[in-house]
Amino acid sequence: MTLTSTLRDAAFRWIADDPDAASRAELQGVVARALGGDAAAADEVADRLAGPLEFGTAGLRGPVRAGPNGMNVAVVTRTTAGVAAWLTAQGHAGALVVVGRDARHGSEDFATAAAEVLTAAGFTVQALPRPLPTPLLAYAVKHLGAVAGIQITASHNPPADNGYKLYDATGGQIVPPSDGEIERAIQAAPGAVDVPREPGAGVVDLLGGYLDEIAALPLGAERIVRVAATALHGVGAETLRAAFERAGFTDLHLVEAQSTPDPDFPTVSFPNPEEPGATDLLLALAAEVDADLAIALDPDADRCALGVRERDGSWRMLRGDETGVLLGSTILSTVDRTMMPDPLVATTIVSSSLLGEIAKAEGARYAETLTGFKWLVRAGDDLVFAYEEALGLCVNPGFVRDKDGIAAATLAAGLTAWLRAEGRTPLDVLDELAQRHGVYVTDQVSLRVTDLSVRGRLMGKLREAPPAEVGGVAVTLEDLLPDADVLRLTGDGVRIVVRPSGTEPKLKAYLQVVEPVRDSLADARAAAGTRLTALRTDVAALLS
């Protein structure tokens, strides 16, 4: 394409309002190439101006680049001006806000901009002292009684991205209608160059208190356990080691090549423990040191994946649902019923429903929420554990109202140490749960799209003409609109949940098969696997 006068003028207006010299020069360069006849540059200008980035309940996420459709100082400045206006409208003028960051490209500049905008708007601002895990920011909001917290992070997104995550006065992530109110406040904000900024934020270091809280979790009495772990080039290695030391676990082996924060993530193509190949170095290290447990944190350390040694000696990563029920059953077995007689555990509508059966057997309450920890931590009173299948685990809702990979990893080490002393492993616990409640197997089918409208068309097609049978099982459709853009298909021992992803350009289908154990566990697992394969094939065809 060629650069239209409308796009050219919009780009020049953005450049004029951008307070950051480097971003101005970057966009000027792209515009100059486009004006010189470079069609690819013209396309790039159009893409950079296609925004602004939408502010949702997950905050902002996007590529670090100049323009309204990217993460840059100007976007962060206007976003924070909107947040400040929203907080003031909520009656929180002048109150405390905490700001933290990870180690991605731009994080330090973005955190500084956010802190300075809030300071100039009259808020008291405390910043975390260095790049630290997101759970530290969530802990700080709750511990300090702040009215909000801002974490600059893109979690496990690709290296080119960064993001802006907002916590409210509850210590959890924002939920509707707050996101819409903030979005409107951002739209009403002036150009970034006209937003006042003022240095003067304080510095607060709460790591010691956070580590003390983790050490007080129900970790058991055993401390002999060897753990291999990776931070995937994120900010979790130092905090994980400190948490283990505080709790008394001293035999920790870190993947050296991935322990230092590096925003380019040089050893992984996608810094997400769920992605194929991301944990190869971890599992190699676990085998090399003869570990009892492997742990992978995502780059901002709010997610935790566990790896175990199979009975044939090979290593594999547990699925998020396996880890969820493993740690959930552990928490339920250790709750002091004199202090909390009616505990609650929660997961999401796309996660395994096995946790509900475990809760029933333990005489505990169980809740399913929409996807996202913003809903999970609001599941109800006396919440003791929550998880989502995408490796999000909250074993410590009393002091972090969000997923916490550091705390989950430490609890997993305690569980594995106790099992080791008894001559057992996490796989034995999973076998026992399956024998007791049946085999629950889960999987996911994802369709990645370049045109987001494709997701809407496919969801519409499923609503208009739902399948009568999937994987050889008769199913019925339940539409969760208007509460959520989610379709649920259920049948005998089968559940399929279809939804557009909130953070990626994907349409996702979450599959579950339940098979009772009649004769042998091996036979039940084989039958469940066969049914899941048939289900996956049919669902993939539905999404094609």
Distance CA 73, CA 353 (A): 43
What does residue 414 show for φ and ψ, rounded to 5 degrees? Answer: -65, -45
Beta bridge partners of 125: 97
Distance CA 16, CA 66 (A): 12
Q: Annotated active-site positions, please?
A: 155
Give the three-class secondary structure for 373: helix
Distance CA 491, CA 14 (A): 53
Distance CA 410, CA 330 (A): 13
Q: Where are the beta strands (DSSP E) in 332-481?
A: 344-348, 365-369, 383-388, 392-394, 439-448, 469-470, 473-474, 476-479
Q: 540: closest CA among 532, 478, 318, 450?
A: 532
C-beta separation of 128 from 101 below 8 A: yes
Burial 78-112 (b: 16+ CB within 10 A, else e): bbbbbbbbbbbeeebeebbbbbbbbbbbbbebbbb
**Tally of CB atoms within 10 A around 304:** 31
- As to burial, measured by CB atoms within 10 angstroms (0-12 exposed, 13-18 middle, 19+ buried), residue 234 is buried
Report residue 323 as tokens: 């880890």
Beta bridge partners of 515: 439
